Amino acid sequence: LNAFVKRFTASRWASTVALVLLVTLWGTEPLAWSGFAGLLSLPVVAGYPSTFALGLALLTWAYAAQLTDPERGDPPSRWARGGLGVLCGVLLLVHPVSGVAGVLGTAVLVL
């Protein structure tokens, strides 16, 4: 989450605020299903593949934002684009439903 948030803002508190919002906006009822990152649900769903996919999606988005940064100057190399493709593939293999959302988010950042 920190790597993704830091791509868009230099604020020191932005990552902390994003983490608080991520775990509290799910509400006060614990949801023990895959894909819910609420504060009360995390002890139950921390071992689910969707939780890993959420973190991997955020890292993939941070990497995609870094590759498409206009201040970077040079276009991304084949290896960098291939690495992004591998990350998207792993994301789809780990948890297909979260993977689709992650790949769509990556496409939005790249385009």
Span 10-34, average pLDDT: 86
Instruction: Count the neighbouring beta carbons within 10 Å of the beta carbon of residue 55.
Output: 13
The yes-or-no verdict on residue 69 having pLDDT over 90 is: no
Q: Which among 60, 39, 42, 61 has a CA at the least distance from the CA of 51?
A: 42
Least confident piece of the model among 30-34, 75-79, 103-107: 30-34
- The residue written with tokens 């190399």 in the block is 77
The yes-or-no verdict on residue 55 having pLDDT over 90 is: yes
Span 2-7, average pLDDT: 90
Instruction: Count the neighbouring beta carbons within 10 Å of the beta carbon of residue 52.
Output: 16
Least confident piece of the model among 6-15, 36-45, 91-100: 36-45
Span 40-50, average pLDDT: 86
Buried b (16+ CB within 10 A) or exposed e, 7-43: beeeeeeebeebeeeeeeebeeeeeeeebbbbebbee
pLDDT at 38: 84
